[in-house]
Amino acid sequence: MRLEKCWFCSSTVYPGHGIQFVRNDAKIFHFCRSKCHKNFKMKRNPRKVKWTKAYRRLHGKDMTQDSTFEFERKRNRPERYDRNLAENTLKAIKKIDKIRSDRASDHIKNRLKTGKVQRQKEARKQLELGIHLVKAPLALAQDSSLCLPKIKDNVSQAQTEENQPMEE
């Protein structure tokens, strides 16, 4: 039983599933579903289509460099069957799968960390702009501790000069 990879989206094509396209130069393309086959016929680049693995890897959404990918490589050299070797291989596959999933979740957490900081900054700015909606203006005037500390934005001297009105 040979599991092929879809040429377009890199998902697994199981036996009896998908479409196989043979070009005039005898190059074989495997597709998991008609969606991938149609996109191939339309000459779309998988690196520019957002739902493909190629796009996700190129734009840093999926892991690209990891030692666990070495085990997934296709090998054409036949191995003599050994029961102990097969048993150890199945145990190793489970361990490697666990390691890969842990690393993938760490990769996702690190990727989303920057967005969380950015959302918090935006929320703080929004709160500063609309603090009068949350607290009454008289309460703010009487107690300055209710105000949030101002966020300092670094603005260069050239930008401040450009924003000043021109004199006639």
Measured CA to CA in angstroms, residue 24 lies from 5, 29, 121 at distances of: 21, 12, 56
Query: Per-residue pLDDT tens for 10-38?
Result: 899 999 999 999 999 999 999 999 999 99
In the chain, what percentage of residues exceed pLDDT 90?
32
Q: Which helix (H) or strand (E) holds 88?
A: helix 83-129
Q: Which helix (H) or strand (E) holds 20?
A: strand 19-22
* Highest-confidence segment of 68-72, 78-82, 142-146: 78-82
Across the strands, what pairs with 21?
Answer: 29
Q: In this predicted model, which residue has the larger pLDDT, 65 or 121? A: 121
Query: Per-residue pLDDT tens for 116-154?
Result: 888 888 888 888 888 777 777 677 677 766 566 666 656
Q: How far is CA 101 from the centre of its chain?
A: 14
pTM above 0.75, yes or no: no
Asked which of 4-8, 27-31, 96-100, 153-157 is least confident by mean pLDDT, the reply is 153-157
CA distance 33 to 48: 19
Answer whether residue 60 shows pLDDT above 70.
Answer: yes
